[in-house]
Amino acid sequence: MGQPGDQGRAVVAPVSAPAALPHCDHLETEIRGPVALFRISRPGKLNALTAAFWPQLRLLLDAAAAEPGIRSIVLTGSGDRSFSTGGDIEGFAELDGAAERRDFLDGCLRTFTAIEECRLPVIAAVNGWALGGGCELALACDIVLAAEHAAFGLPEASVGLVPGFGILRAPAVVGRQAAKLMVLAGERLSAQRAYELGLVQQVLPAAELVPAALKLGRRIAERAPLAVEVGKRMVNRGVDRGETGYGVEAVAMLYATRDAAEGIAAFAERRAPRFEGR
């Protein structure tokens, strides 16, 4: 018996053109077929992240997820030097008092969680430095592609801080000891080293980075949308956390969908499936 996919590439069901996504400062958006491209746009500041960036990214994630024509998201930075060098430290210093700083940090962490919990897969196309919050954005994304000259780091300890999200997520991605090296010693990972540790899934020449990420986004769009959504959720929950009961219910739910019936029928009939997201 063959494997799923032996009968050819799936056909994405026709959908209405998505509405324009909300305008956000320092975040440019494009719709490329079923893929939403988000580009962090502060090239003069190496794409450092302002306080406004975090709620705006959450807004864009929600808007993209609400559009039936969008099936995946690519997040990258403008220019060829930096994906993002993280939070604007000067702006952070202007926060007034502990309560305001706590609210700001809570907003940052909610944005990382929003990436992980977004029903759409989010692909990071890391086009240069990914430092601090920029590295944390990559850690939160589902798949990471990196340009050959990209570098990843968590340098917050050099200014008396720690990466609130990265310090929790990096051990699961790159391993506990490598995470300590990054957090405690400010060690930067080259794209190749990040690939070896599992943070990056593919290293590419810079000119091929975004096209490859968009191609991957389109490939994901060919899969059954509900299966992709549930698959992402299940991987993020992890069976090692005792979530097997959830897994049973989730897969049972998928078996009851039209897309599952269509996918099974198409496999048996040796044809490409036509998924509808139902």
pLDDT of residue 2: 41
Report the alpha-carbon distance of residue 68 to residue 70 in Å, rounded: 6
Q: Categorise residue 151: left if φ over 0, alpha if ψ from -120 to 50, beta otherwise.
A: beta
Among 162, 110, 163, residue whose Cα is nearest residue 134:
163
| More confident of the two residues 263 and 66 | 66
| More confident of the two residues 161 and 34 | 34
List pLDDT tens digits, range 223-262.
Answer: 999 999 999 999 988 655 555 566 667 767 777 888 888 8
* Residue 25, pLDDT above cutoff 90: no
Q: What is the mean pLDDT of residues 85-91?
A: 81
Among 227, 277, 255, residue whose Cα is nearest residue 67:
277
Q: What is the mean pLDDT of residues 132-136?
A: 97
pLDDT of residue 14: 45
Give all domains of the chain, ordered by start, each with its CATH number. 11-221 (3.90.226.10), 225-275 (1.10.12.10)
- Return the active site residues: 136, 156
| More confident of the two residues 63 and 268 | 63
Q: What is the mean pLDDT of the chain?
A: 88
| More confident of the two residues 105 and 197 | 197
* pTM for the model: 0.88
* Residue 3, pLDDT above cutoff 60: no
Percentage of the residues of the chain whose pLDDT score is greater than 70:
86
pLDDT of residue 253: 79
List pLDDT tens digits, range 153-200.
Answer: 999 998 888 888 999 899 999 999 999 999 999 999 999 999 999 999
From residue 186, alpha-carbon distances to 38, 85, 98, 162, 255 in Å are 28, 14, 26, 10, 47
Report the alpha-carbon distance of residue 206 to residue 191 in Å, rounded: 12
